[in-house]
Amino acid sequence: MKEKSFEFYVEKCNVISSYEQADVSFLPPIVRRRLSKLDKCALSVMNSVYDDDIQNIVFCSQYGEVERLKKIIAQYSEAGEVSPNTFAGSVHNFPVGFFLLNTHKAVPYTAISSHDRSISSGLLTSVIAPYSKTLLCYAEETPEENYRALALRLCKTPSPAALKYKMTMSSASGKDVFEQYAEFFCKNSGLIRTPLFTLESAG
């Protein structure tokens, strides 16, 4: 039986591997103060690859707002109640919702958490989505309490400077490795075998 495969293009890629690299200067200072470190990383890479032709956004993260969840647990333990603002910011889709609200974009989005397959699940969702151009964003707090984020502007048809890729569906064990995705898309090198598919350059 022939394996199912998909072809897609990436017009732009941006990766940050630490919180210090996040740039949210496009937002007013009063707005920036409401953001967690994860928010800033996610918004930084989303803003850097967004264009007005984007029709869909897929946000993926294994754990989401760990920083705010810790604050919620501490608040509840100490005071027996939780700040509504802190709770609102702790939901998994907060970064993408905040980005769209504060940049005045009207774009549908999906938020995904799929344990240690969150990047591959997000990428697969982006590739098969019924839109011609999708923004994929992954953001995570690392076990070392650092932050990292990746954003891709994907399209279904060729465009100037876009790189072509082939995704072949497969079933394997293992987990996503952020550094492999960063190296693959930003340097257009190598091949990735994920728990869901094999990814290779096709152009």
Full DSSP string of 21-37: G---TTS-HHHHTT--H
35-49, 51-65, 71-85: least confidently modelled range: 71-85
CATH of the domain at 110: 3.40.47.10
Beta-strand ranges (E) seen in 17-104 are: 56-60
Q: d(Cα 65, Cα 62) in Å, to the nearest integer?
A: 10
Q: Which of 73, 97, 92, 98 lies closest to 83 in space, CA to CA?
A: 73
**Residue 192 and residue 171 in contact, taking contact as beta carbons nearer than 8 Å:** no
Q: Does some domain include residue 133? A: yes
Q: Does some domain include residue 25? A: yes
Helix axes 94-102, 37-49, angle to 10 degrees: 50
Q: Which amino acid appears at position 71 of this protein?
A: K
Model confidence band, residue 84 (pLDDT cutoffs 50, 70, 90): low
Q: Does some domain include residue 19? A: yes
Choose between 87 and 122: higher pLDDT.
122
65-74, 102-111, 134-143: least confidently modelled range: 65-74
| Count of the separate structural domains present in the chain | 1
Model confidence band, residue 1 (pLDDT cutoffs 50, 70, 90): very low
Residue-wise pLDDT tens digits, 125-182: 999 999 999 999 999 988 777 899 999 999 999 988 899 999 999 877 678 899 999 9
Q: Which domain holds residue 40?
A: 12-160
Which residues lie closer than 8 Å to 30 by C-beta, 6 or more apart?
none
- Looking at the DSSP bridge assignments, the partners of residue 172 are none
